[in-house]
Amino acid sequence: MSLPRRRLRDEAEGVTFDFAPMVDIVLLLLIFFFLTSNLGARQNVLPLDLPRASTTVQATPDIPIVTVHESGRLYLNGYVTNLEQLEKKLPALVKKSGGVVGVRADERGNYGTVVQVMDAVKKAGGERLALGTRSGDQ
């Protein structure tokens, strides 16, 4: 009785590798990095008409930024918030930034809201305010 012989595969046939799952993973990683890398720029996305100033200085990126929209809506680092949430979140952020808080307010906005934000910063231990302006030539 003879056993059937197994035919050895030719080296040219070799093992095949399916690239489709790897391409899917790479595309998902690219999408993830595109979405997360854009988060740092969110604070300047809101359309504001900042007041003009003859002298301006670039703010440091590690300070918390409170934005007061023309409608009175508040944003903390680009995310919608209200005065109560702002008062809860600011103490930790103020401590981390060394007592400096940035305030960007639309020049057509309500001055009373800006004063409320300034009070919240003071209650949170803020020692200095960096007011957002635009240069006179813009």
84-107 confidence digits (pLDDT tens): 999 999 999 999 988 889 888 888
Residue 106 is predicted with a pLDDT of 86
For helices 83-97 and 111-123, give the axis angle rounded to 10 degrees: 50
Q: Please check whether residue 120 lies inside any domain of the structure.
A: yes
| Under 8 Å between Cβ of 43 and 78 | yes
- pTM: predicted TM-score of the whole model, two decimal places: 0.61
Q: Please check whether residue 83 lies inside any domain of the structure.
A: yes
Residue 90 is predicted with a pLDDT of 92
Residue 59 is predicted with a pLDDT of 65
Q: What is the CATH number of the domain that holds 102?
A: 3.30.420
Domain span at residue 117 reads 43-135
| Under 8 Å between Cβ of 73 and 113 | no
Instruction: With residue 133 as reference, give the H or E element that holds it.
Output: none
Q: In percent, how much of the chain has pLDDT > 70? A: 72
Picking from 111, 109, 84, 89, the residue whose alpha carbon sits closest to that of residue 101 is 89
